[in-house]
Structure 1
Amino acid sequence: MSDLPDSSPYDNLHAAIEAAGIGTWDFNPLSGSLRWSDRCKELFGLPADALIDYSVFLAGLHPDDRAKTDAVVQQALQPTGTGEYDIEYRTIGLQDGKLRRVRATGQAVFDEARTRAVRFVGTVMDVTQRYQQAQDYQAVIEYIPQMVWLTDPAGYHTFFNQRWTDYTGYTLAQSQGTEMWNNLLHPDDRARAQQVWGRSLQTGEDYEIEYRFKGVDGAYRWFLGLAKPIRDEQGEITRWFGTCTDIHDQKLAEAQLRSSEERYHMASLATNDAIWDWNLQTNSVSWNDAIFRLYGYTRAEVEATSQWWYEHIHPADASRVVDGIHRVIDNGHTMWQDEYRYRRADGSYAYVHDRGYVSHGEDGRPIRMIGAMQDVTEQRQIQRALRERDEEFASLADNMAQLAWMAKPDGYIYWYNQQWYDYTGTTLAEMQGQGWKKVHHPDHLARVAATVDAAWDLGKAWELTFPLRGRNGAYRWFLTRAVPVHNEQGKLVRWLGTNTDVTEQKQLQEQLERAYSDLEAKIVFRTLDLEHQVQELRRRLGE
């Protein structure tokens, strides 16, 4: 193979490519020789003078990506194909150990008879930062505690997030358009909802409504529907971004209703978990039938000891989980929960969310622990399957109707959406870290700070209602929800939170409470008056 040209145009092109952070490579399939630019070597964690060949290339790939990448290379070298090569993979620096995500493209050159490839050239580019940004936006979409949806300018639904599918039981393909949406609305809300939505589509005004949606179980729950138009540079609406926030509990509180049917439904859901009962004095453990149904064991295979449970925890998780549960028991605590991998009967592992309650005797000693092990494998698979979505979702955060924010695992808030700044009139410099306290009402700040500080330490999702000061100095009530986000190893990497304005609902609830209080007082006064009259009547009869 001849050397690459040494002309000035080539030098200029090579310099431009290097300046853009793009690496180049040139592989001779016949001789096996492989040449990398300095930038290409850098993306594999190698110095500029490192010697490389195809085996070095494979060694620098992430183990999970190695076989797939090699297969794509071999496919590109097949004369029967187009010779095109386009793949994204992870590299682990051979000397610096750094994990990078790389996009590689190339083209195979074949001999005149097209019987074999004689040259294979291409480029590599570091897309680690772009991938992380995409993951952040993806996290906003999938982890916020709302159902998220998009429509075209005419109101035709084109996207729903996973929470929609989880709640309704319908896939994105089944939910596109308007028919499924309308069918899931409560019949008593349908006409009103269509009227309000039609007015927003006609005028371009923000959309806000409360309605009931039917879930996969057939029951209806109340939601606060909000939507904003997304416009192009010419001011034309290109799509609508909307959310549905579950306000069912608030609606029930307003009406002072607690449905026995809902309680029964929630209790029935618990039967999908593997329930265990651990006698801490005898070390015997009993399970419900879910351990057989969900994990494939027979009754003969399940031993009634805690050791049997320990032995089926993934070796990489066992020490952490066992130490954690005994720390709760030994220190006199009552609540425990953890996530880990649990071995099924066929040898595969299920991701489980396990939680338990410790019961103590009169002398304070732990005597019993009851818990439920929930299979969350599907949720974890969904998390692992998250990939970069279209750039249209980059505008998601700033166009959602709620105030939103992200925090580090320790609670240090490092990002707010534009709605937060528009409402509070603050800047990131003022708000990051613990700056959020500046816009909290002083009467509620201590309560809020204590609650969230405890939540940061425990790493559990939390929900709280409190007032926030707007740019005009007035306070409005917000329902705040925050959820922890974990990576594939189960490590907490960030928090995602939203603030939904519930001022009107709060005012209505307070009015109801005042009305009940006044009624109770009247009943007390009336009872005392009647007792006085009875005593007076007895006195007169006695005379």
Structure 2
Amino acid sequence: MPTADAKFERLQTAVDAAGTGTWDFNPLTGELIWSDRCKEIFGFALDQDVSYDQFLEGLHPDDRAFTHAAVEQALRPSGSGTYAIDYRTRWQDPATPPRWTHATGRAFFDAARTQAQRFIGTITDITEQKANQDLLRQRETELATLANSIAQLAWIADKTGAITWYNQRWYDYTGTTAAQMLGDGWQQVQHPEYVHGVTERLRQAFATGTAWEDTFPLRGKDGLYRWFLSRAVPVYGEQGQVVRWFGTNTDVTEMRQLQEQLTQAYEDLEVKVTFRTLQLEHEVQQLRAQMAPGLSTATIPSKES
């Protein structure tokens, strides 16, 4: 049967293989034991003994104060006994960029919880994740800038169809706030006669993952309704699944008014043409009636002939 030391050694090997470093700090003696992976993350030599002060010195200058405060809070008997923070390592070579790490820790106290006796935890290099997050934030910022520059009202929904973001033009037109638009708040600016049908058709599109298009009135901050052509398309992830929706609302009020005017003009023209046609037929019938006697005398031969 494996001994406790053998079990710990296997566990340590598994943790190291996962790229996670472990540490063990004794608050009573100040002794700090780091795994090889911890030292690699900080850029220390594997045979180097690391003290708590050296640990702080190995942090980015901007991160030292709040990291030390987090450790003290975890070791305080009245504290939570845990901490989980992100900080940057300074590394030993000034030419090497700092690495982002995520550190977790848990303190163990005496029976009376008056003194922390041990503080253990892990360190994980999250530099790549941070870079991806920064890139994602940059793209989101660029998308927001682009969406705010277009003439349409624009919005983004999650994969279920819950709208999570509107561009500034939406708020400028509707006069609403982000808090008011949470959940199904967008229904507040829908016309009562259209909201049910619009909602049902939109939910059907979200459920089936198909593009959506509809035309309906939206109330502006002046209380008046204007007509909008609204569209939403799904955005797919790497596995082909819908991850979000992007939608726009385009003001087509003037276009609808022009169409109505053209339709009315066409209908008026049809009425005029029909009326004129009837008038001409009536005049032709009158002319024929006037000419009918003469035509009869001229075409019927007499007996003498």
Q: Residue type of the partner of 1:109?
A: F
* Residue 91 of structure 1: aligned partner: 89
Q: Distance in 1 between matches of 2:119 and 2:61?
A: 23
Instruction: Give the one of 143, 149, 157 matched to 1:150.
Output: 157
* Greater length-normalized contact order (CA 8 Å, ≥ 6 residues apart): 2
Q: How much has 1:128 moved relative to structure 2?
A: 1.5
What's the TM-score once normalised by structure 2's chain length?
0.63
CA contact (8 A) 1:221 1:246 kept: no
* Residue 455 of structure 1: aligned partner: none
Q: Which runs of 5+ in 1 are unaligned?
A: 258-543
Distance of aligned partners of 1:216 and 1:43 in 2 relative to their CA distance in 1, 3 Å threshold:
farther
Q: How much has 1:20 moved relative to structure 2?
A: 0.9
Distance of aligned partners of 1:121 and 1:91 in 2 relative to their CA distance in 1, 3 Å threshold:
same
Larger Rg: 1 or 2? 2
1:197 aligns with 2:202: yes
Q: Provide the secondary structure at the position in 2 that maps to 1:7.
A: helix
Q: Provide the secondary structure at the position in 2 that maps to 1:228.
A: strand
Deviations 1:167-221 (A, max 9, x none): 566555432222x212234789757644642542575532234567667798979
* Residue 182 of structure 1: aligned partner: 187
Q: How much has 1:62 moved relative to structure 2?
A: 2.7
* Residue 111 of structure 1: aligned partner: 110
CA contact (8 A) 2:74 2:106 kept: yes
Q: How much has 1:115 moved relative to structure 2?
A: 0.8
Deviations 1:67-108 (A, max 9, x none): 222211111001123311211222222335322111111111
Q: How much has 1:118 moved relative to structure 2?
A: 1.2
Sequence identity (%) = 35
* Residue 247 of structure 2: aligned partner: 244
Tell me the C-alpha RMSD between the 2 structures: 4.0
Instruction: Give the one of 68, 71, 74 matched to 1:70.
Output: 68
Q: How much has 1:18 moved relative to structure 2?
A: 1.1
What's the TM-score once normalised by structure 1's chain length?
0.38
* Residue 279 of structure 2: aligned partner: none
Q: Which runs of 5+ in 2 are unaligned?
A: 148-153, 259-305
1:132 aligns with 2:131: yes
* Residue 165 of structure 2: aligned partner: 160
Aligned runs of 1:284-299 on 2, under 5 Å?
Answer: none
Q: How much has 1:40 moved relative to structure 2?
A: 1.0
Q: How much has 1:23 moved relative to structure 2?
A: 0.8
CA contact (8 A) 2:231 2:249 kept: no
Q: Residue type of the partner of 2:119?
A: F
Q: How much has 1:15 moved relative to structure 2?
A: 1.3
CA contact (8 A) 1:142 1:162 kept: no
Q: Distance in 2 between matches of 1:26 and 1:60?
A: 17
Distance of aligned partners of 1:83 and 1:223 in 2 relative to their CA distance in 1, 3 Å threshold:
farther
Q: Residue type of the partner of 2:113?
A: R
Q: Distance in 1 between matches of 2:201 and 2:59?
A: 54
Q: Provide the secondary structure at the position in 1 that maps to 2:180.
A: helix
Distance of aligned partners of 1:151 and 1:19 in 2 relative to their CA distance in 1, 3 Å threshold:
closer
Q: Provide the secondary structure at the position in 2 that maps to 1:133.
A: helix
